[in-house]
Amino acid sequence: MNDPCLIWCHGALATPWGNKSRSLADTAKRLGLAMEAMDFQDLDDPDQRVGRLAAKLGKEGRPAILAGSSMGGYVAAAASIRADVRGLFVLAPAFYLHGYAVQDFAGLRENVAVVHGWRDEVVPVSNAIRFARHHAAALHVFDDDHRLADSLDEINALFARFLETALAREKP
């Protein structure tokens, strides 16, 4: 079984199946992928969330494509350096914040995309720029805030292209 699993990681105060995750799951479904949403609502600590995701990835037995928003973006990125992850798609990721254990994401694979809002009041856009520059990741910045609610159509188009690239790399 070489088909990758697609896993969504929600943000600190979000639920697994919010507006963004439902919309992205619909995009994935059109491409033949089912997206699973992790439930971290019982864990406030981002690095405990990383541990939960890493444990799931270890049991999965197949490569993964990870996506996440805010703290969930951090969780996906931090877990991806310890697992067979074929793609990372993060929205307003909580990178380089005080109290988060992983500050250096060495070992990331290719196919990393970062989406952020210029008016993000929670995580500075400069953090996303720093990460994208350091990892040569695709960076997409919209005139939006942390929730990126006004950019969902554009994000879905980016997600579809990202998934198509990730799936094309899987074929022998």
pLDDT in tens, 38-78: 999 999 999 999 999 999 999 998 999 999 999 999 999 99
For 125-164, give one letter per residue: b (16+ CB within 10 A) or e: bebbeebbeebebbbbbbebbbbbeebbeebbebbeebbe
Q: What is the pLDDT of residue 160?
A: 98
Average pLDDT over residues 152-165: 97
Q: What is the pLDDT of residue 1?
A: 44
17: pLDDT strictly greater than 50: yes
Q: Determine the longest span between alpha carbons in the chain, in angstroms.
A: 43
Q: What is the pLDDT of residue 109?
A: 81
Can you read off the two tokens belonging to residue 120? 């993000």
CA–centroid distance for 140 within its chain:
14
Q: What is the pLDDT of residue 110?
A: 84
CA distance 66 to 8: 6
CA distance 119 to 143: 7
CATH topology of domain 11-170: Rossmann fold (3.40.50)
pLDDT in tens, 93-116: 999 999 999 999 988 888 999 999
Place of tokens 């406030």: 44
